[in-house]
Structure 1
Amino acid sequence: KALSRAELDALQARIRPHFLYNSLNTAAELTHHDADAAEQAILALAALSQAAMHSGKNVSLDDEITLSKQYIALETWRFGNRLSVDWQIPNELPALSIPCLTLQPLIENAVCHGVETSEHGAEIKVELHITTGYITMIVSNPITISNAQTRPNNGMALENIRQRLNIYYKNKAQLTITNKNDVFRVKVVIPKLIEGSV
């Protein structure tokens, strides 16, 4: 258990190396133009930082979706209309638990490699499907020409996420990657946990 905890912490620390820097710069810029937006950006950053401290612990599926949307709000202040998200998520979410920071890093990865590398921006697609025994998350982003230069880093971040899930779910989670028709797609399938379970 101690080894798994240490591995989870080490892997999580590697997933988001530039996020804090970018977010603080965004908040600093907003203080000059929109004090209310700056406050919301700082509160969203605080929520994400708190989540990072609880990496590997269970949170409700609803809370993870909320956290992911707070992350997108932060990045929208940074990228403006270059970033858009197509949320394909059920209106009513069941009381299920997942490890904190399961979906959000997948979305962050899509922003870094689908939006940040594109001069004109991109739309990210986020899908959530719940079946009898599993939760499936799919995050897709278009591939830009400049993306070819950053794809190795992209793969390394996703491998870190895969390792985290394998430790947590004892190799019962699946993370698959497809690259087809200029669309990069990450699919995560994890076993369902009732909210509050260990």
Structure 2
Amino acid sequence: MPKLIEMMKPWQWMLYIFFWALFVTSIDRHDLATWPQFFVKFLSRIVQYTLSIIPSLYLIDYLRPIFKRDNPINVSMKILLLFAITSAVSATLVMLVMINTGWLVYERKAFVLNVLFNIVITVGFTLVFMLYFIRRYRELIALKQSFEHKLTAQNDLIKARIAPHFFFNTVNSLVSLIESNPPKAADLLQHVSALFRATFDGAREISFEEEVELCEHYLAIESSRLGDKLVVNWNLPDDDVMYDMVITALTLQSVLEKMLLNVVEMTTETIFIDITIEWHQHRVTITVTVQLPSKTLMIVHDLRRHVNFYIQAERLRAYFDQSADIQSDVTNEQIVTVINYPLYDVSI
């Protein structure tokens, strides 16, 4: 359920209020003899509708967790009642101010009828807006389902890519360790179990701590085969910061896997990988720097072609924002891959 206040920009809401006030003032102009009276009534309507609509929208957004668990009909009735109450309160306040300033003469009957008139008009406009919102909400649900199908297909691609080469390499490592080092083989099986369980859980959003743990499982498995060829340095935020961070599952692990597949396995030299995670101004930046070997020939053009993360970037955009992206810069000395996506602090 999207936030109502975010469905339109502030200037669009004010434009909506402006034309609503103009429409209501025009149909209720029977007692307005001059243009100044019309202008005063028009301005009072703008103030009144601003006082009733904006607070109501914020209150509805605040109550979203409660409304999600309720029946749609009950939610609709509660929203109508809320707008009716705020309309009555704002109309009363505005008319009392106008009476005290001398812009309006107090008549009890006219006062009550004016409040009732505003309630009826507000409820009518709210019904029209709710119909628009329901149509928009259904479109968003359909779009979300389309994303979910797409993410499932992308996750299947990731499974198909991970399984063949990784599975057979791991089996070969296990076969050699079972006879030579059974305890290490048992540890390796634990890492394999944890990683494959996450792989087949499906496309989902997980805590950053879980993603780092999955990467460590993966690196532990590969280290049993690569040995001293791989050195990984982690630069992680504080535990309190990590606690609030989330990411799509296997995103960072996929980046590391491509680096191992296209760099580490192609050389006999030791490859250093530095991973730095920062969360600043509502954006997460993960920088993976891979130092290329100095003695082994690495063709930069081929590396640029193989080191791409289109699927992972699409999964990030589907979960977070269209501004999320994964970019790699390949030079003769290193590969720098930056994962960047918006993440707002839930504690704020």
1:110 aligns with 2:254: no
Q: Give the aligned partner of residue 330 of structure 2.
A: 179
Q: Give the aligned partner of residue 154 of structure 1.
A: 306
- CA-based RMSD: 2.3
1:165 aligns with 2:316: yes
Q: Give the aligned partner of residue 125 of structure 1.
A: 274
- In terms of fraction of residues, the more strand-rich structure is 1
Does the C-alpha gap of structure 1 residues 146 and 51 become closer, same or farther in structure 2, counting only changes over 3 Å? farther
- How do 1:1-198 residues align onto structure 2 when only pairs under 5 Å count? 1=145, 2-16=148-162, 17-92=164-239, 93-144=242-293, 145-148=296-299, 151=303, 154-156=306-308, 158-192=309-343
Unpaired segments of 5 or more residues in structure 2? 1-144
Does the C-alpha gap of structure 1 residues 55 and 106 become closer, same or farther in structure 2, counting only changes over 3 Å? farther
Larger Rg: 2
Contact persistence 1:111–1:124 (CA under 8 A): no
**3-state DSSP class of the match of 2:268?**
coil
**1:17-69 CA distances to partner (integer Å, 9 max, x unpaired)?**
41122112112211122111111111111111011112421211111111111
Contact persistence 1:82–1:120 (CA under 8 A): yes
Match of 1:190, as an amino acid?
Answer: Y
Between the aligned partners of 1:89 and 1:181, the Cα distance in structure 2 is 27
C-alpha deviation, 1:189, in angstroms: 0.7
Does the C-alpha gap of structure 1 residues 118 and 182 become closer, same or farther in structure 2, counting only changes over 3 Å? same
TM-score when scaled to structure 1?
0.86
Identity of aligned residues (%): 21
Structure with higher RCO (Cα < 8 A, 6+ apart): 1
Match of 1:4, as an amino acid?
Answer: K
Between the aligned partners of 2:264 and 2:324, the Cα distance in structure 1 is 27
Contact persistence 1:76–1:83 (CA under 8 A): yes
Unpaired segments of 5 or more residues in structure 1? none
Between the aligned partners of 2:178 and 2:291, the Cα distance in structure 1 is 32
C-alpha deviation, 1:177, in angstroms: 1.2
Which is worse superposed, 70-79 or 107-116? 107-116
Between the aligned partners of 2:161 and 2:314, the Cα distance in structure 1 is 11
TM-score when scaled to structure 2?
0.51
- In terms of fraction of residues, the more helix-rich structure is 2
C-alpha deviation, 1:83, in angstroms: 0.8
C-alpha deviation, 1:193, in angstroms: 6.0
